[in-house]
Amino acid sequence: MENRIDLKDGLIKQNMVFMSGMLTAPIIACTTTLTKSLAVCFVFSVVSFFAILLCRLIPRTIVYTLRVTLYTIAAAVFYIPAIMLAELIFGTSVIQAAGVYLPVLITNQLILSKTETRFYLEPAGKMTADVLVFVIGFDISCTATGICRELLAFGTIGGAEVPILFTVPAMETTFGGFLFVGIGAGLFRAVYNYRKSRAEEPEEEDSLAEYAEDMGEFLVGKHSRAEKEKIKIYRAAAKKTKNVNELLDMEFLSNRDVLEAFEAIIAEGQEMVGEKSAEETEQADPEAAPAEAEIPSAEDGTDVPKEDGNGDIS
Amino acid sequence: MEIFLNIVSAALISIFVQNLIFERALGVNVLLYASRKKEHLFGFSGAIAYTTTVSAAIVWIFDTFLGENEYYRIIMPLIYILIVAVVYIGTLALIWRFLPKAFRALKKYVHLSVFNCSVIGALFLASQQGSDIFSYLGYGLGTGIGFLLAAYLLYTAAGRLNSPLVPAAFRGYPGMIVYVGILSLAFYAFTGYSTSVI
């Protein structure tokens, strides 16, 4: 299967903190200092990396509804050595200050969702590298957040005083964290969009179509359906979505559940593809028709707006 | 009467004073997902309330008997996850057996509403702050109601936060996080100015 997955996605395009928001609780509430953010990074990296590698070995014959429990149990098992090492490295006081935000890392969506929707699609070697990139992407975001918030809240970095004109004590609080991450995510996306438009990358709807095609191929592999027909339907579904929320849903609803969750969209897309194909059959040579011709037009105004991809693609 | 008041006070604290979303930011990613559709609001909140309440009762037993063990805090996440997994699988099996229609509707997102930061975080907070089984139960119940409140507040604003009036880069996730932050600031008034972040 042709695999279009880009290994750099985890750093920027699908950054877990600023782009997809897959893991925000520890960032918002806990990373108020550099030391605490490093502790979060360490535990997250150890738990996620090894848990995902182990989860890949879990047979796919087990239904996802049950398999997800094994994922979290695997993460909880790796949490034990991770937290013991973290206590040795950072000291018990830092770990205790991090409170409940270290244990909750075992239920992060990188393990529970991305394993299903992305990592299973890749060969073992590529998957390992991809997981590493996602982990590094999170670590960079987490550390940067810790540095900025500590600087703004206390006027220090790693405990060392930095001469700044003023401090913003609210950065230590949860709502300060929300505002920091929200504004940070907006700016991150704005820069990403600007660079993307400068680089004249493919338009978002093409990315959506590619994403849908990847997912379509994945599902075809799992369900033995006619590949072309399935991909065609997913491309139509991708074009139909207003702000890719439906596609984002696939990150959470995985494997067989995706089919049911997408039933309505698929049915709609199928109808439109059928109508379009029928028209084309009458008007032109059907074999010569390009794939794009099968995508429904935006008659109801629900096509993907070009500027909409910035924020909503994960 | 005392039991009832214990449960109610613990629930009220977890809804307003220590709301899992606004005060702790636990389960924000699930909140963003749940607030997209009206039918998800009650489904997610109900699943979270049920799981935390039932699991909290079992957690209380483990906390009572193993709480003094010096290694307990290290294996707590594993024990809590096993408890949640047992509750999850047991409940799903019962629903599958007796309510197959409801099972088909639930299975699309039930895993997401059970295995997330808010459920496991609520159990840890109940363990830290609960004194008896009733406060554990109240905290579990309040967590679900608090989540429903947060999800509803976000749901009502979701249309505007995703409208073309919002700059493209802030549409969706960033705008929603900022909005939750502003709500969090409002909820902060319930706690006064002395609570710690953790």
Residue bearing tokens 């500027």: A307
Decide if A30 and B78 are in contact by the 8 Å CB cutoff: no
Q: In this predicted structure, what is the pLDDT of residue A39?
A: 96
pLDDT band at A34 (very low <50, low <70, confident <90, very high): very high
Q: Residue A179 and residue B25: Cα distance in Å, rounded?
A: 12
Angstrom distance (rounded) from CA B112 to CA B109? 5
List the one residue out of B5, B41, B58, B59 whose CA is nearest residue B144: B41
Report ipTM (2 d.p.). 0.89
Gap from A129 CA to chain B (nearest CA, Å):
25
d(CA A65, CA A70): 10
DSSP B72-139: HHHHHHHHHHHHHHHHHHHHHHHHHHH-HHHHHHHTTTHHHHHSSHHHHHHHHHHHHH--SHHHHHHH
CB-CB under 8 Å, B85 with A29: no
Give a yes or no: residue B111 inside a domain: yes
Identity of the residue numbered B34: A
Q: What are phi and psi of A137, to 5 degrees?
A: -60, -45
Between chain A and chain B, the number of residue pairs with CB atoms below 8 A apart is: 192
pLDDT tier at A260, thresholds 50, 70, 90: low
Rounded Cα gap, residues A214 and A207, in angstroms: 10
Indicate the number of domains in chain B: 1
From CA A247, how far away is CA A249, in angstroms rounded? 5
Top-confidence range, A280-284, B163-167, B192-196 = B163-167
The helix (H) or strand (E) run that includes residue A149 is helix A124-154
CA dist A273 and A296 (Å) reads 6
B171 to A24: CB separation less than 8 angstroms, yes or no: no
Distance, in angstroms, between A73 CA and closest chain B CA?
Answer: 6
Position A204 scores a pLDDT of 54
Q: Which of A16, A48, A104, A115 to substitute to test the interface with B, most B CBs within 10 Å?
A: A104
Supply the range of the domain harboring residue B19: 7-191
The string of DSSP letters for B20-73 reads TTTTT-TTHHHHHHHTTSHHHHHHHHHHHHHHHHHHHHHHHHHHHHHTT-TTHH
Asked whether the predicted pLDDT for residue A294 surpasses 50, the reply is no
Report whether pLDDT(B152) > 80. yes
**8 Å CB contact of A189 and B174:** yes
Q: Do B188 and A308 touch (CB under 8 A)?
A: no
Confidence grade of residue A130 (pLDDT, cut at 50, 70, 90): very high
CA B5 to chain A, closest CA, distance in angstroms equals 27
Q: How many CB atoms lie within 10 A of CB B29?
A: 23
> Are B120 and A106 an interchain contact pair (Cβ–Cβ within 8 Å)?
yes
Where exactly are the structural domains of chain A?
Answer: 25-198, 204-312
Q: What pLDDT does A298 receive?
A: 33
Predicted TM-score (pTM) of the model is 0.77
B197 neighbourhood in chain A, CB within 8 Å: 29-30, 32, 172-174
Other CB atoms closer than 10 Å to residue B74's CB: what's the count?
A: 16
Residue numbers in A near B170 (CB within 8 A): 182, 186, 189, 311
* C-alpha dihedral sign at A165, A168, A171, A175: negative
Rounded Cα distance between A124 and A119, Å, is: 9
In whole angstroms, give the CA distance from residue A149 to residue A158: 11
Contact A63, A99 (CB under 8 A): no
Residue B159 is encoded by which pair of tokens? Answer: 């249309």
Average pLDDT in the A257-268 region? 54
Tell whether the model's pLDDT for residue A76 goes beyond 60. Answer: yes
| Residues in B touching A73 (Cβ below 8 Å) | 78, 81-82, 85
Range A287-292 contact pairs with CB under 8 angstroms and sequence separation of 24 or more = A291/A232, A291/A235
Residue A5 has pLDDT above 90, yes or no: no
Predicted pLDDT at A141: 96
Query: A186–B24: do the CB atoms touch at under 8 Å?
Result: no
